[in-house]
Structure 1
Amino acid sequence: MKRQTGGIVLQQLFNDLIKQEVKPFLAKHGFAKKSLNFSKTTEGLFYMFNFQKSSGNSAENVMFYVNCGIYAAELAQIQSKEILTAPQEAECHFRARIGEIAQAAPDRFAITPDTDRDELRKTLLGGLEEVIRFYDKMTRARSIVDYYISGPFLHLGEESFHLLLQSNDTAAANQYLKALQEKYGAENRWAIFENKYEAIFNKYGVEFNKL
Structure 2
Amino acid sequence: MQNELKQIIKEIIAPLFKQNGFKKKANNFAKIFPEFAWTVNIQSSKWNSEDEVEFTINTGIYNEKLFRAINEWEPSNFPMEVESVLRIRINELKNSSQNWYKLSKATNLDEVKKQVEKDIQNVILPYFEQFKTIEDVIRGLENKEELGLYENPHYLTILYEIYGEHDRAQRRINEVYAKTKDHLQKEFIIELANRLGLNVN
Q: Hey, what's the Cα distance between the residues in 2 that align with 1:34 and 1:105?
A: 29
Once the 2 structures are TM-superposed, how far is the Cα of residue 33 of structure 1 from its aligned partner?
2.5
After superposition, the C-alpha distances for 1:102-121 in whole angstroms (9 at most, x for unaligned) are 34694211112222333312
Letter of the aligned partner of 2:131 in structure 1? M
**2:181 matched residue in structure 1:** 191
Q: Which has the larger radius of gyration?
A: 1
Shift of 1:61: 1.3
Percent of aligned pairs sharing the same letter: 21
Which moved further from structure 2: 78-87 or 137-146?
A: 78-87
Instruction: Choose the corresponding residue for 1:45, options 13, 23, 36.
Output: 36
Q: Which runs of 5+ in 2 are unaligned?
A: none
The one-letter code of the counterpart of 2:110 is D
Alpha carbons 2:23, 2:31 under 8 Å: kept: yes
CA, structure 1 residues 12+151, in 2 after alignment: closer, same or farther (shift >3 Å)?
Answer: same
Q: How far off is 1:43 after superposition?
A: 0.8
Superposition CA RMSD, Å: 3.6
SS of the residue aligned with 1:191?
coil
2:130 aligns with 137
Q: Is the 8 A contact 1:75 1:93 kept in 2?
A: no
Closer/same/farther in 2, CA of residues 20 and 113 from structure 1, 3 Å limit:
same
TM-score by length of 1: 0.69
1:167 equivalenced with 2:158 (yes/no) = no
Q: Which of the residues 110, 115, 120 maps onto 1:118?
A: 110
Give the distance between the partners of 2:8 and 2:54, measured in 1 at CA: 13
Q: Which residue number corresponds to residue 65 of structure 2? A: 74
Q: Deviation per CA, 1:148-180: give whole Å up to 9, x if none.
A: 32232331311202433641574xx77xx69xx
8 Å CA contact retained: 1:74, 1:141: no
Q: What amino acid does structure 1 have at the position aligned with 2:26? A: S
Counterpart of 2:144 in 1: which secondary structure? coil
Query: How many residue pairs get matched?
Result: 187
Give deviations 1:46-72, integer Å, cap 9, x for gaps: 222211222211233111122212211
Aligned to 1:127: 119
> What's the counterpart of residue 5 of structure 1?
none
Letter matched to residue 167 of structure 1 = E
Change (3 A) 1:163 1:19: closer
Q: 1:80 to 1:60 in 2, by over 3 A?
A: closer
**Corresponding residue for 2:26?**
35
TM-score, normalization: structure 2? 0.71
**Contact 1:105 1:127 (C-alpha < 8 Å) held by counterparts:** no
